[in-house]
């Protein structure tokens, strides 16, 4: 399935468009996967970073009280950091800190996938372009075009992380479990 999804994104003239369409079809099924381990296995094994970005973007948009209209960018990921609630509400048997842990895991996964789409090794840095155009861009050694909303400062990151910590303290109290602290450090 993962290979077929990757091919479906790649063969389209506009991988960005096809990944949006595929993500919109798959997203309701992600919401209905009952176990975290199954959701993580599906997302972690996804062959297309672009498709994974789109799915995680939909997941976080779904968890925000006020969705944003920003394009997928570092600023949007920071918005998700500040405005997302626990991603999947129906898991009554799961401890609250584990729900936050899952959300932080998905934020890290989104950030890593986005970096692969935009900044990573030469074949990945033009993932938003078609396969034919991508080869031309690589031959020309063209740098990927960053968006204005990819220009964030260390202060932006620090303020958003502090806001997240305040929200988590209200829900979880102190001290945070070790897994939460590790994921917060990794996100910073």
Report pLDDT digits (tens) over 5-34: 777 776 666 777 788 888 899 999 988 888
Cα–Cα distance between 24 and 37 in angstroms, integer?
Answer: 22
Give the end-to-end CA distance of the chain in Å, rounded to a whole number.
33
Least confident of 4-13, 67-76, 140-149, 165-174: 140-149
If one counts every other C-beta atom within 10 angstroms of the C-beta of residue 19, the result is 27
Cα–Cα distance between 115 and 163 in angstroms, integer?
Answer: 23
Task: Classify residue 87 as exposed, middle or buried by CB count within 10 Å of its CB (0-12, 13-18, 19+).
Answer: buried
Q: What is the pTM of this model?
A: 0.79
């Amino acid at each position: 399935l993962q290979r077929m999804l990757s091919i479906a994104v790649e063969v389209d003239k506009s991988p960005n468009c096809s990944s949006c369409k595929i993500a919109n079809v798959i997203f309701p099924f992600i919401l209905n996967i009952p176990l975290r381990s199954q959701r993580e296995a599906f997302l972690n094994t996804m062959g297309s970073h672009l498709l994974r970005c789109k799915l995680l973007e939909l997941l976080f948009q779904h968890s925000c009280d006020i969705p944003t209209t920003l394009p997928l960018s570092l600023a949007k990921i920071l918005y998700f950091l500040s405005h997302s609630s626990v991603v999947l509400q129906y898991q009554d048997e799961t401890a609250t800190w584990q729900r936050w842990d899952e959300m932080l895991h998905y934020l890290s996964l989104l950030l890593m996938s986005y970096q692969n789409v935009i900044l990573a090794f030469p074949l990945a840095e033009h993932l938003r372009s078609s396969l034919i155009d991508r080869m031309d861009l690589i031959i020309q050694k063209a740098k990927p075009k960053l968006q204005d909303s990819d220009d964030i400062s260390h202060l932006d990151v620090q303020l958003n992380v502090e806001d997240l910590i305040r929200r988590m303290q209200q829900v979880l109290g102190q001290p945070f479990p070790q897994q939460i602290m590790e994921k917060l450090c990794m996100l910073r």
